Amino acid sequence: MIISERPQKATAYWTVGPSKGELRTEDLPEPAEGEALVRTLYSGISKGTEMVVHSARVPECIEDRMAAPHQEGHFPAPVKFGYLSVGVVEQGPTELEGKTVFCLYPHQDHYVVPAHELTVVPDAVPAKRAVLTGTVETAVNALWEAGPRLGDRIAVVGAGLVGGMVATLLRNFPLQRLQLIDVDPSKSGFAAALGVDFSHPDDALADCDIVFHCSASQDGLERCLKLAGDEGEIIEMSWYADRKVSVPLGEDFHARRLSIRASQVGVVARSRRHRRSTSDRLELAVSLLSDPVFDHFLTGTSSFEDLPGVVDRLSEGTLGALCHVLDYSTKNKFTENNSTESTR
């Protein structure tokens, strides 16, 4: 289908300074051969990373690697950043037109991208839930890194968005033991909804084969070292941005031959890199979202035009969320009025 009135402008969210963001309009190009025009239905806020960008805390040495696939601008600002977008293809290759798709694209109401960068959302996955695709992909990559085995004893430290995702994927593995660990006792209800055992760090069971660290705290990492069994492995999934973290590598760290290994979704895990592409990984991630259990990660919804205020509240801590969803279904008055043009 070729839409009869293709929009000429798009509205996008930009970080324009430390702790300051705004909606801007920009020209929307005509799709070329092999490209697709997507109308956004929902986008998700990846709280940890996006709050680092919002507060201008991306370290200079990692700026190039931190760039999102369709980012515009440069850190610290102005920058258009984000990567959890779900929409409908309104113009493009025939096999994609009318399809619901996931794309690693910033918060924007319409966009044009190469068609091969779109991941089709299966019919069994609701569009709103599909914003979690990028986070499930992160968890999948971590499991490929760690390679859990039959009968393993595993702990996941940090019951946030990423930690919860890792535990959710692991809950169907043939493990001897799995615990989701957090200092907040209220997270026990969240763990129960996921079908995973919960523990406070003080009560967590040690002698683990693998410990996934997702709390982004020094205390959490120290606890991981205590929970890992001899020659056990800690998979470090936390990103500390510009914060300094001390790791107690004295005491029995060497004697017990412990390992700490980084996991980062920017590249496919080494164990699968020669046999799986990033597209393969995304297709797997979105297929896993047919399980309704993932709805527990969607903890709030706001309209797209309210995004600047939502980011402020998330940054201030007055809005708690695992994944906060932006709904683009309401008519965007900002775009309709065309009151501000991008200064780029």
Express each pLDDT in 82-138 by its tens digit. Answer: 999 999 999 999 999 999 999 999 999 999 999 999 999 999 999 999 999 999 999
Express each pLDDT in 232-272 by its tens digit. Answer: 999 999 999 899 999 999 999 999 999 999 999 999 999 99
Judgement on whether residues 193 and 165 belong to the same structural domain of the protein: yes
Residue 25 has a pLDDT of 97
Q: Where are the strands (E) in the chain, listed by range? A: 9-17, 20-27, 35-46, 72-73, 79-80, 85-91, 100-103, 110-114, 119-120, 153-157, 177-181, 197-199, 208-213, 228-236, 259-262, 298-303, 323-327
Q: Which of 218, 247, 262 delimits the end of a domain?
A: 262
Judgement on whether residues 255 and 148 belong to the same structural domain of the protein: yes
The SS3 assignment for 227 reads helix
CATH number where 170 lies = 3.40.50.720
Express each pLDDT in 328-337 by its tens digit. Answer: 997 444 333 3
Residue 48 has a pLDDT of 87
Judgement on whether residues 162 and 189 belong to the same structural domain of the protein: yes
**Entry pTM:** 0.92
Judgement on whether residues 247 and 141 belong to the same structural domain of the protein: yes
Residue 340 vs residue 226, higher pLDDT: 226
The mean of the pLDDT values for the chain is 93
Judgement on whether residues 142 and 212 belong to the same structural domain of the protein: yes
Express each pLDDT in 11-56 by its tens digit. Answer: 999 999 999 999 999 999 999 999 999 999 999 999 889 999 999 9
Judgement on whether residues 72 and 38 belong to the same structural domain of the protein: yes
Express each pLDDT in 167-190 by its tens digit. Answer: 999 999 999 999 999 999 999 999
CATH number where 82 lies = 3.90.180.10
What is the mean predicted confidence (pLDDT) over 279-304?
A: 97
Q: Within a domain: residue 3?
A: no
What is the mean predicted confidence (pLDDT) over 292-301?
A: 97
Query: Which residue range is the domain that position 118 belongs to?
Result: 9-122+290-337
Q: Within a domain: residue 182?
A: yes
Question: How many domains are contained in the chain?
Answer: 2
